[in-house]
Amino acid sequence: MFLLVGLGNPGTKYAGNRHNIGFMAVDKIVRRHGFSTWRKRFHGEVSEGTLGLEKVLVLKPLTFMNESGLAVGDAIRYLDLEPERVVVIYDEIDLMAGKVRVKLGGGAAGHNGIRSISAHIGPYYTRVRLGVGHPGDKTLVHPHVLSDFAKSDKVWLSPLLDAVAEYAALLVEGDTATFQNKVHLALKPAPPKE
């Protein structure tokens, strides 16, 4: 079994925020792959299903971003999972909008949700960073991530979320390089035909 975590803040006030792209991604995965109805558990909402041959529990922590580790820690202790079987999807300001990077382990890079999870389960879990772009000024980061995506962002946001959902099984199969490549290709427009 794998634990697939999408990070965000609960409530309609935050639903369209850049900081909630993790929630958006796992919502799309749950719908695309016919997972169970969401229910409350582990300080969050969970949905169960399969990706490829792996049983997966999807978790959206409802603790607010800064305390995401409470939910993730409770879930892996109850499920008796190693951190290596946890995949976390979240926003990354240091990536251009629409870019995706996946890696096992690492630091928090200023992301409070990741800092909280690492404090509860250690750093050795898979991180799926979805680029939301940088506002250009350090003092604008907080309002940037806590504001909604612009209408113009739909050009890359919808295809990104669709591709993440389409190829999600590769994450639990451990083929992160192919996942990154397929998502990248899905977002790259086809060259014009001559």
Per-residue pLDDT band at 190 (split at 50, 70, 90)? low
> Whose structure tokens read 């000024």?
137
Mind listing the pLDDT tens digit for each residue in 42-61? Answer: 999 999 999 988 999 999 99
pLDDT at 105: 83
Strands (E), 62-171: 86-92, 100-104, 126-131
Question: Are the C-beta atoms of residues 130 and 164 closer than 8 Å to each other?
Answer: yes
Q: How far apart are CA 66 and CA 112, in angstroms?
A: 5
User: Domains plus CATH for the chain?
Assistant: 2-187 (3.40.50.1470)
Count the Cβ atoms, other than its own, within 10 Å of residue 194.
3
134 is catalytic: no
Average pLDDT, the chain: 90
Q: Which of 19, 33, 111, 144 is catalytic?
A: 19
101 class by beta-carbon count within 10 Å (0-12 exposed, 13-18 middle, 19+ buried): middle
Count the Cβ atoms, other than its own, within 10 Å of residue 76.
23
Q: How far apart are CA 148 and CA 126, in angstroms?
A: 26
Lowest mean pLDDT among 15-29, 137-151, 168-182: 137-151
Work out the average pLDDT over 134-154. Answer: 81
How would you list the strands of the sheet with 2-6, edge to edge? 39-41, 44-51, 54-61, 2-6, 86-92, 126-131, 100-104
Residue 193 has pLDDT above 80, yes or no: no
What percentage of the chain reaches a pLDDT higher than 70?
Answer: 97
Per-residue pLDDT band at 29 (split at 50, 70, 90)? very high
What percentage of the chain reaches a pLDDT higher than 90?
Answer: 62
